[in-house]
Chain A
């Protein structure tokens, strides 16, 4: 009732508001602006309605990139989540090795994305790269710059190497929060290791796993730098994911209208998928 009204609070919120405006709101509205207009340069814009959206959704190029993107995201999720859980389970809970393991796990996460791309680019080169050369010497015909399959495999292995640690660290945090009494009770109840995992560890990790899946989903959908540096979207268009396609369109071809429309569709897909996913998980939690 007598709560003092203090307008000074706005001053403190101001910097964030400005930052968000310039960072997110202004760029987003610019994109919306582009997506519904046509331009022929010289700052002349014409209203084009939803033309770009229709055109884009019908185009083979977009559909192909979108399918590739889905393929990529679900493959890396299918590998990284189980692998992350397995590694987290295998890590020691106590003792000197804990910090060693944690540091080793955190290392890939600390490397800048373009450096990761460059590292793997050189590492996998068939003539001079350690990996590429070894594979070829072992009799595998491996050349990621020419074979679409090899390029895909390299891309996925690189992403798994780079990001599985994130899942591991999150799961590990979930695991260490389980009190000893739970394991002791399970041992006394005669539970198998599988039962311990299924009824104690997995339920207690559920919350962090939700976050891990969400983060990995969004990040992999947004992935740009690493595949660009590694394969540049090639050979051909075989590893051209959505973001690379978008950049080609916007910056390479300077088709601002279609690129704007594509950005928005892209944005909405991620938002929708994340929302559905999160709601499902949370609903499950409440039961």
Chain B
């Protein structure tokens, strides 16, 4: 069961919501749509489901053109951010409802609902009404209903967004496992980069209605193809500044420069945008080749085990994330260290010119 979008475009009232998208989602794959709130994730999902028709372009499912085929005629399940259950039915009937419509036998229904409830840890809630459940339990019921029928396409639109932090951690771990044995295409939308990474599978990075990169999640994180992609896939935000490469030297300004190492040696001379993730900028020098930054601390956030330091350097707001507790006063001048061997370099068009050595 593969899902294919061919040159799909969506325009509403003259505004382009989705720029031409080509995407092939493979059978049995777990795909995360990653982007900010108005990036176009929900629109893309609605087009995939058949709830919305693309302005132009085609949607193919299993080698069949399904553009314009109503959602009822496709075998699709969807879970929304808000928990949607039938209020007058108990949990069992809620989960069983798609199976009853599908004409399964009573014993079969009982078996399938039981299995699904077991997987999502709601077995002992089966005779309760949704109004008697907590938010997390309601969302798991909604998920069980979406997953119990053997859909060809399962769409999850920020299903964990309204849940408690710890519950989210737990479900994030369980979800990919639920689909591991299935042939269906799973699409999961989220605004959180960490979530995309932990869910594994593939990531579709979406920005302002465009798909900026598509590939295995950890690869996109470690090898972003463009500056936008790196920004979409970075939390805390990735630090950037302009650098100039001349000969064997890369310089941010007159005082901060270093000698080319590894693959940066092959870069043609010129201007680049350097991007470095916050955890490669630390208050403790990681090794000799790290460069020193004269920083003015804006604010330091200290959790029990790590420090997040917001500071100003090179006329930009930068962030450092490190282990341990490193207190700084607001406005304090500090020395921080950037491990530039882990930096990315992007050219004037924002495309990757040189990736970090070792790919981190």
Contact = CB atoms under 8 A, between A and B. Distances in A.
A and B touch in the complex (CB under 8 A): yes
Interface in A1-36: 1-3
Contacts of A2: 65, 67-68
Interface majority SS on A: helix, strand, loop or mixed? Answer: loop
B330 to A, nearest CB: 28
B54 to A, nearest CB: 11
Nearest to A1: B67
Interface of A: 1-3
B53 to A, nearest CB: 9
Interface of B: 58, 65, 67-68
A87 B295 CA distance: 62
7 contacts: A1-B58, A1-B67, A1-B68, A2-B65, A2-B67, A2-B68, A3-B68
A2 B67 CA distance: 8
Contacts of A3: 68
Contacts of A1: 58, 67-68
A176 to B, nearest CB: 17
A3 B67 CA distance: 8
Contacts of B67: 1-2
Nearest to B53: A3
A3 to B, nearest CB: 5
Nearest to B56: A1
What 7 A-B pairs are tightest by C-beta distance, nearest first? A3-B68, A2-B65, A1-B67, A2-B68, A2-B67, A1-B58, A1-B68
Contacts of B68: 1-3
A221 B67 CA distance: 49
Nearest to A2: B65
A3 B73 CA distance: 14
Nearest to B66: A2
B50 to A, nearest CB: 12
Nearest to A3: B68
A2 B68 CA distance: 8
A2 B53 CA distance: 13
A2 B59 CA distance: 12
A267 B236 CA distance: 63
Contacts of B65: 2
B340 to A, nearest CB: 47
B66 to A, nearest CB: 10
A3 B59 CA distance: 13
A2 B64 CA distance: 11
A142 to B, nearest CB: 53
B301 to A, nearest CB: 27
A3 B68 CA distance: 6
B200 to A, nearest CB: 36
A5 to B, nearest CB: 11
A3 B65 CA distance: 10
A186 B65 CA distance: 54
A196 to B, nearest CB: 28
A1 B54 CA distance: 11
A136 to B, nearest CB: 55
A3 B54 CA distance: 13
A1 B67 CA distance: 8
A1 B8 CA distance: 13
Nearest to A4: B68
